Amino acid sequence: MAASKKKRVEEEMDDENIDVDEDELDEEGTNSEDDDEAMDQEVQLDFEARIPEDCDFHGIKTLLQQVFLKANVNLSQLTDTIISQNYIGSVMKQPYSPEDNDDDDDDDDDSVLALTSVINLTERKDLDCVKQIRGLLLDKCKACCPKELDKFTSALDNPDKHVGYLISERFLNLPPTLAVPMFEALVKEMTKACQKEMKYNFAYYVLICKTYEMKAAHNVRQMIFSNSEEELFCDASEVSFQFSVADQRDGVVEKWSAEEDMEPFRTVLLLPAYKLMPVIETIKQELAKT
């Protein structure tokens, strides 16, 4: 099963090489004089996608921690749930090479570069991590955007119209071109799951986007999406609200080159399910222009 999944996603990526700034891949960074020269260098990297496996636990959890920071959400249980759905979702990794034989086995956990999946918040409402996510979102909606609370609550609490938590996470330096084939693969997987009478027929999707607010000209506040394509999801959403996480950003894995000049937020979107594919097509069109 893993082999067929890997092949399917790679075909959708058309075996593309992605240009990534080599300097951005250094998580720690250096202070040497060579850094200035390295900033203009690019390296071509190959990526492959496959189903999440047990060895991806720590890598997946790290990506989820970028979203939830210090929120009271059982990320271990959420990660286990994602891995247990071995028919839905993808992790993006660099392909294995013989040189990896000398590496420590634990390094494989940290090589999860991107993740796409969906969790049925309606069907799995009794899971602690799902209860915590629902509670967090409802509390933040009530505090930050009370006018949307009734609509948001009605969507989450309707037992007949399921809501999926749409997860699309990657490290900051990776381009949005990676998101498109992973989204397309996810849609196909959900379609096949529905054909087998599995509960992936959603009325809405919830997205939790990493965003940053900075001052623009004339003290106008500008919102920046860490995953730039998510701005198009925001435009198509029925409900959107945001809350600051500025008090949670220290001592966690999330990084941003100009973080001190920006206030980090989480922007929550309620997207009608029928708009998912049109948004993906719009993302493809926008990326084709660049």
What is the residue range of 257's domain? 2-12+44-289
CA distance 178 to 45: 12
Residue 95: predicted pLDDT = 76
Which has the closest alpha carbon to 237: 191, 288, 274, 201? 274
Q: Residue 91 falls within a domain, yes or no?
A: yes
User: Does a structural domain hold residue 27?
Assistant: no
Domain count for the chain: 1
Per-residue confidence in pLDDT tens, the chain, 290 aa: 444 455 455 545 554 444 544 444 344 344 445 544 544 555 456 778 899 999 999 999 999 999 999 999 999 999 999 999 989 999 999 876 656 555 555 444 458 999 999 999 999 999 999 999 999 999 999 999 999 999 999 999 999 999 999 999 999 888 999 999 999 999 999 999 999 999 999 999 999 999 999 866 666 778 999 999 999 999 999 999 999 999 886 544 455 444 457 889 999 999 999 999 999 999 999 999 98
Distance CA(51)–CA(22), nearest Å, equals 27
Q: What is the dihedral of CA 13, 16, 18, 19, to 10 degrees?
A: -160
Question: Given this model, what pLDDT does residue 111 score?
Answer: 84
Q: What is the pLDDT of residue 101?
A: 57
Q: For the CA atoms of the chain, what is the radius of gyration?
A: 19
With H, G, I as helix, E, B as strand and everything else as coil, classify residue 128.
Answer: helix
Calpha distance 172→66 (Å, rounded): 10
Whether the CB-CB separation of 268 and 285 falls below 8 Å is answered with no
33 domain-assigned: no
Helix (H) or strand (E) holding 90: strand 90-93
In a domain, 28, yes or no: no
Give me the DSSP letters along 144-193: H-GGGHHHHHHHHH-TTSEEEEEEEEE-TTS-GGGHHHHHHHHHHHHHHH
- Is 20 part of any domain? no
Closest by CA to 61, choosing from 45, 40, 46, 78, is: 78
Q: Does any domain span residue 18?
A: no
Helices 75-84 and 128-144 sit at what angle, rounded to 10 degrees? 120
